[in-house]
Amino acid sequence: MSLQDRLKRERALERASAIVSQCRKCGIGATRRNAVYGEGDPCAQLMVVGEGPGETEDKLGRPFVGRAGELLDKMLLSIDLPREDVYICNTVKCRPTLDTGHRLANRAPTPEEMRNCRPYLDEQIDVIRPRVILALGAPAAKSFMGEKFSITKQRGQWFDGPSGIPVIATFHPAYVLRQTGGAMTEVKKLVWADLKKVRARLNEPAAKAGSKPEQHRLFE
């Protein structure tokens, strides 16, 4: 990857991010504090896509921060990918909220919001051209694999994504954190199995070149 190509991608993402920061296509465009466009390496081999920003993300304008973000960082490190080597974003760039009368609670994005925001995600994919997309949670997975996708039955399987890029889904870190005791260990094992598939896919050319397979440990 030449420096010129990297700079070109950085500029394209900056331009798109500026447009998103002005976008008001959905109602949540008016209630957000910050648009959360995405962040990471513009030349990343792996793109991680979650459903949408939560409260902390909305406050800071960054994807996957707070507890779920910390767990995502550990998940990525468990397959030897520091966060800064990955590109991280969401299906929608504004925080979907539900007014409970006392506070704004997080909710999943609606199909309309995801449709409205999809061109921004497609543009990110076009610019970055990752080798693998990892969808976190059912809403993100469905946005690639269709409404009938079942996160419990079909996570860990490869699908053809945009431009033929392989997509795989696993549980969202926030879902992992909601589990307790043995249930959490079981879910972590499933996520770990999915992450190993991502690592293996990313290793493919290196394996052809004769490099040794690496050993990884379950994230803690």
Residue nearest to ligand SF4 (CB): 29
| Comparison of 116 and 170: residue with beta carbon closer to ligand SF4 | 116
In the complex, minimum distance from the CB of residue 171 to ligand SF4, in angstroms, rounded to a whole number: 23
| Comparison of 17 and 78: residue with beta carbon closer to ligand SF4 | 17
| Comparison of 84 and 112: residue with beta carbon closer to ligand SF4 | 112
- Asked if residues 63 and 86 have their Cβ atoms less than 8 Å apart, the reply is no
For the chain, the distance separating the N- and C-terminal CA atoms, rounded to the nearest angstrom, is: 34
| Comparison of 54 and 156: residue with beta carbon closer to ligand SF4 | 54
In the complex, minimum distance from the CB of residue 11 to ligand SF4, in angstroms, rounded to a whole number: 20
Sorted by sequence, the CB contacts under 8 Å of residue 136 that are 6+ apart come out as 48, 49, 50, 51, 72, 169, 170, 171, 172, 173
- Asked if residues 219 and 188 have their Cβ atoms less than 8 Å apart, the reply is yes
Question: What is the tally of helices (H) and strands (E) in the chain?
Answer: 9, 8
In the complex, minimum distance from the CB of residue 47 to ligand SF4, in angstroms, rounded to a whole number: 17
| Comparison of 93 and 197: residue with beta carbon closer to ligand SF4 | 93
SS3 of residue 90 by DSSP: strand
Torsion of CA 82, 47, 68, 52, to 10 degrees: 150
In the complex, minimum distance from the CB of residue 135 to ligand SF4, in angstroms, rounded to a whole number: 17
Q: Which residues bind ligand SF4 (CB under 6 A)?
A: 20, 23-26, 28-29, 35, 92-94, 113, 116-117
In the complex, minimum distance from the CB of residue 112 to ligand SF4, in angstroms, rounded to a whole number: 9
